[in-house]
Amino acid sequence: MHLLIPSKAYLEVIVDSREASTAKHIVDEIKRLGALTRIGFLEAGDYIVSRDIAIERKTVSDFISTLTRRNLFEQLSKLKENFSKPIMILEGDVSSIPMISSINMNAVLGALASVARMGISVIPSPSPSATARLIVSLARQERKIEQQSRIRVKAVKKGDISEEQIFFMCGLPMIGRERAEAILRVYRTPLEALKRVDG
């Protein structure tokens, strides 16, 4: 499956086109909070905030509906297959379920336990506005982690590079670590060593 991934250059949230049409108030709030949005057809999830995190948003009534239709776990399995940190936001008051549905509360709690056992985090949200803030907060945290990771990659020490060179030289026949270090002290790089060393 081809995945849309948010830009690393700026704060961006990708929104499923169906979610964008039914939850315009959330998309507008995400924009108001400073994140750009890109609308696209998503095969898994409603929002993508990074390469690792996608979010399935369920209102309490949506959750009950997908539970009774038995397609909840199919949707969440797709999320789990494609993202290393899948999240389900459960929006609304779970305690109101007995008032809006005849479904047994134990079945609801059992379903939530099963979702957690799948390795999918369940985050409660009291309102659409809170959902938007949660999504933007996750996007900010992920972007910060990605930026820190890029800084660490840029700050590689020269010693680390020589360690890679030693590892490469040790892969050659009859070259141990001591001999590799001795050769590199003389020739500086594996390429120069291979050009000049005979036998």
| Closest alpha carbon to 91 in 119, 126, 66 | 126
Contacts 24+ apart (CB under 8 A), 79-82: 79/44, 79/45, 79/54, 79/120, 80/118, 80/119, 80/120, 81/44, 82/1, 82/3, 82/43, 82/44, 82/45, 82/54
| Closest alpha carbon to 131 in 59, 50, 40, 51 | 59
The predicted-structure confidence for 59-117, as pLDDT tens digits, reads as follows 999 898 888 777 888 889 999 999 999 999 999 998 888 888 888 888 889 999 999 99
Mean pLDDT score of the chain? 84
Q: How far apart are CA 108 and CA 162, in angstroms?
A: 57
Whether pLDDT at 167 is above 60: yes
What mean pLDDT do residues 118-128 have?
A: 94
Structure token pair of residue 15: 């929104």
Alpha helices in 33-119 (DSSP H): 60-69, 72-82, 97-100, 105-117
Q: Whole-model pTM?
A: 0.70
